[in-house]
Amino acid sequence: MKKFLLSFLIMFISALGAMAQESVSSSEIINDIAVQKQISDIGFKILNSNKIELRMIFVYNSKNDLVKLEPGLTKRQIVVYDKNLKFASDDAEIAAFLAREICKSSESYHGVFKGMLTSVQIKCAPKKYEIFFDKLAVDLMVNAGYNPIALIIYMNKAYPQKRYDKIARANLTSKRLANVYEYIYTKYPYFLKNNEYLENEAYQNFLLTSIENRKKLAEKIKSGSKKAVNYE
């Protein structure tokens, strides 16, 4: 009798464990489906609004891959990891991340060998293309009805600041932010004048940390110069 009760107890406990595990995994799946839908909706909206006739898909991956591959360039599969998503607090900020990746994937369609050479170029010289894609992302966002200042917010939250960028594979984030700010000022000043994000803490921090770069832009505007500003 004791043996029977003991084995029944063990079976009951293991069944409870399995049930608990199942409920956790199904709640994770439900969450994944919701996030996946949100990402796909935003991604396809950007593609459609900009009349981009190139196929690409948007995939949510909650686990971060150990090896950093670029499926956006090879398979035109834009992967959004949790590490990217956790910095986005609204649809516009998710759109900011996706718009940048869409620019990269779109570029990989053009050129010889069905864009393979362009993909190698982007992979070999990421610094060269970084600010170029940032600016194009602003255009895509505006056409899709998103506020481009969300790109500044997202970048200010998600990308760290290195010491130097002279001999590096990436630009300083402060330089990228200043270029995006200037681009919005030049092409879409409406969003800076009617700034919905002015009281956002990340934007306030951007204003605090970009005083010198914004002074440089102010001098350029006052002088009427068309030369590119050397931001830091």
Partner 1 sequence: MNKVFNKFLFVITILAFCALSSKAEILRDEFIDETLGSVELTKPVSYDKYNYESFEGIPIKLKINEKITTKKDGIYDGQMLNFTVRTNVKYKNQIIIKQGTPVKAQVSTYLTKGMNGIPGTIIVDNFQIDGIDSSKIKGFYIKKGLNLSLLVFPIKWALTPIPGVGSLTNFILGGNATLSDKDTVIIYYYPLWGKIEKL
**Binding residues for partner 1 (CB under 8 A):** 45, 48-52, 110-112, 117, 120-121, 124-125, 128-129, 132, 135-136, 139, 142-145, 182-183, 185-190, 192-195, 198-199, 204, 207-208, 214, 217-218, 221, 226-228
| C-alpha torsion angle, residues 188, 193, 195, 200 (rounded to 10) | 110
The letter for the amino acid at 227 is K
Nearer to partner 1, 86 or 215 (CB): 215
What CA–CA distances, in Å, run from 21 to 17, 32, 64?
A: 6, 16, 22
Nearer to partner 1, 79 or 178 (CB): 178
Smallest distance, Å, CB 104 to partner 1? Answer: 13
Nearer to partner 1, 2 or 226 (CB): 226
Smallest distance, Å, CB 37 to partner 1? Answer: 18
Smallest distance, Å, CB 198 to partner 1? Answer: 7
The helix (run of H) or strand (run of E) holding residue 232 is none
**155/206 Cα distance (integer angstroms):** 10
The helix (run of H) or strand (run of E) holding residue 194 is none
Nearer to partner 1, 48 or 161 (CB): 48
The helix (run of H) or strand (run of E) holding residue 116 is helix 112-124
Smallest distance, Å, CB 226 to partner 1? Answer: 4
CB 79 within 8 A of CB 61: yes
